A and B are shown apart, each in its own frame.
Chain A
Amino acid sequence: MGIDNLPVALSVIRPELILAGTALVCIALDLLYKPADKMPCWAIAFFGCLAALAATIAAWGTEQEAFSQLVRMDNLSNFFAVVFLMAGMITLCLSASYVQREGLMAGEYYTLLLISMTGMLFMAQANDLMTVYLGIEIMSIPVYVLVAMMQKSPKSPEAGLKYLLLGGFASAILLFGIAFLYGAVGTTQLADILRHAPRAMRASDPLFLAGVGFLLVGMGFKVSLVPFHMWTPDAYEGAPTSVTAFMSVAVKAAGFSILIRVIVLTLHPMAATWSQIFWWLAVVTMVLGNVVALVQENIKRMLAYSSIAHAGYVLVALTTGSQLGVQAALIYLFIYSLMNLGAFGVIIAMSREGDQGVHIEDFTGIAREHPMYALAMAVFMFSLAGVPPTAGFIGKFYAFSAAIKAGYIGLAVIGVLMSAVSAYFYLRVLVVMYMKEPEAGPEYGAGPWGATVGAGVSVSLWVCALSILVLGIWPGWLNHFAHQALQGLGCLL
């Protein structure tokens, strides 16, 4: 380590620096403009993300550690950065009109979104448990505020409080795990933990094993695996819909980025132990997520349980601990981001002020009044259910085939069965949209349905729907990038 190296190493965290700088500019601009017109803040935030995305793509292929090996830029971190920034940009597009309609504080909203993304980028680049912890907190604390931000809904602060309490509980457990690992290994660098792991396994060092267990629990909370999922439905239901979209996609992907980095890659020597745990977690996550989603009436809550189930599918791929499995998980997360953002985009377009109209019944007959939105929703629902030729099928195909190749045939069978169950509640939305007559109440007939939606929502729906169809037909290039993302990580077998 040397202080002299610091200026050079800044290039490793260039995307983070761009986002953090943009956040500062954004909050400063907020002071200059009237509450009614926050478009400059939006534009700055969007172009900041675009610049960070460009910096990430320009850095594709570089492999460098910096700040005494606290952060590490490699293709894996860059792949995740692309997912986060893409999700962030689509969220911004979905937010522009929504923020105005719901009277959210726009300057703060965009700033918090940017800071949260900064934390995610740090998580993806984590090379030391300290970066893992700080990344999680930089990501989570702004999201707690975003969830609790909506003035018009009494559910929003309640959701924020529940999310914060359980999120804080999870971080405390994670932190205790980090402390134990530090006690067992003597440092918290992932490379040192990787070196130490075989010895700790042979000696079955209780400190080390307890540390890993605590870490697993903490991360399980962040990606909402089943015994640790209690916060998810409430937080997703009460949050502003655009924030729900962001949480269900980017925050979850960020959780998986550290799960992959810390458990799957770093603790690879003890794969036999954690893959058993993952097996059970994946099964209960898929079963509970899909079964409880069946009975939900609120579509945000239904998608919350569906997002729990999707975390289960990703975990199926990770259970294998093989390169193919991690690759499948990356592909799944990328595809899942697009389809889930799209589905929430349609909900934003179809809902009304005060977050009204988010029940599945409210979608009755919208195919007649809003054929394009209904069509887009149909694409997203088919994709979430995993019906070919949509991308959702490709994601599930890779995940389950990785499990079968690694010999987890039972797990793959349960996964396929649960996808079949999920088809019921996804297709129910389609039935309601296409096969039922709209009720002729004044509430639905005369109200400005979707009229408050700006161009941003339509553009992002087009982008999501088209890329889902394109990816469903030509998945090769995504597979190629996911493959490249794992090169240079020699520890995978």
Chain B
Amino acid sequence: MTSETLVLSILLFAIGATGFVVRRNAIIVLMSLELMLNAANLAFVDFSRQHMDVTGHIYVFMIMTVAAAEAAVALAIVVRIFRTRRVVNLDEINLMKG
């Protein structure tokens, strides 16, 4: 069941997850998140082709819609934080700890 596409999608997912953990800029973290979602999309399309089944394609549409909604909310929150505190660095967004 492994194909080059699946390997690529796992690589993309790993890059996204690494970026999510390592990068401190909120916008770049969001981009990493999108990369992870798109890695999942690629896996879905690949398996869809292997099984000759349309379910995977439907997933891709759903995921794109949800990702757009999530990004909209995320950017709105980042903008709100930036307006009051002038930071987008996650290490400086630290009023709460413990």
Question: Which A residues are closer than 8 A to B by beta carbons?
Answer: 130, 133-134, 137, 141, 144-145, 148, 154-155, 157-162, 164-165, 168-169, 171-173, 175-176, 178-180, 182-184, 186-188, 207, 233-234, 237-238, 292, 296, 301
Contacts and interface: CB of A to CB of B under 8 A. Distances in A.
Interface of B: 1, 6, 9, 13, 16-17, 20, 26, 29-30, 33, 36-37, 39-40, 43-44, 46-47, 50-51, 53, 55-56, 58-59, 62-63, 66, 69-70, 73-74, 77-78, 80-81, 84-85, 90, 93-96, 98
Given A130-B62, A179-B47, A183-B43, A141 B73 contact: yes
Q: Looking at B40, B50, B59, which has the most chain A CB atoms within 10 Å of its CB?
A: B40
Q: Closest 4 CB pairs between A and B?
A: A179-B43, A172-B36, A183-B47, A175-B40
A176 B36 contact: yes
B98 A233 contact: yes
Contacts of A164: 70, 73-74, 77
Nearest to B6: A183
Given A130-B58, A144-B77, A168 B47 contact: no
B44 to A, nearest CB: 5
Nearest to B48: A182
A187 B43 contact: no
Contacts of B81: 157-158, 161
Given A144-B77, A187-B55, A179 B70 contact: no
7 contacts: A130-B62, A141-B73, A164-B70, A178-B59, A183-B43, A183-B47, A292-B98
Contacts of B44: 179, 182
A234 B93 CA distance: 11
A183 B66 contact: no
A323 to B, nearest CB: 31
A412 B37 CA distance: 39
A184 B46 CA distance: 12
B40 A158 contact: no
A172 B37 contact: yes
Taking chain A's interface residues, is the majority helix, strand, or loop, or is none over half, making it mixed? helix
Contacts of B43: 176, 179-180, 183
A241 to B, nearest CB: 15
B58 to A, nearest CB: 7
Contact of A141 (B46, B59, B69): B69
Taking chain B's interface residues, is the majority helix, strand, or loop, or is none over half, making it mixed? helix
Contacts of A184: 1
Nearest to B47: A183
Contact of A179 (B40, B58, B96): B40
A176 B20 CA distance: 15
A197 B51 CA distance: 18
B50 to A, nearest CB: 7
Given A164-B70, A233-B98, A237-B96, A157 B77 contact: yes
Given A134-B66, A164-B77, A176-B13, 10 more contacts: A130-B62, A141-B73, A144-B70, A154-B84, A155-B96, A162-B93, A175-B63, A178-B59, A183-B46, A183-B50
B73 A175 contact: no
Contact of B95 (A155, A178, A296): A155
Contact of B98 (A134, A161, A179, A296): A296
Contacts of A171: 66
Contact of A172 (B16, B51, B56, B73): B16
Contacts of B17: 169
Q: Looking at B26, B66, B85, which has the most chain A CB atoms within 10 Å of its CB?
A: B66
Contacts of A158: 81, 93-96
A157 B80 contact: yes
A375 B27 CA distance: 47
A165 B33 contact: yes
Given A130-B62, A179-B44, A145 B73 contact: yes
A291 to B, nearest CB: 13
Nearest to A167: B70
B12 to A, nearest CB: 10
Contacts of B93: 158, 161-162
Contacts of B78: 161
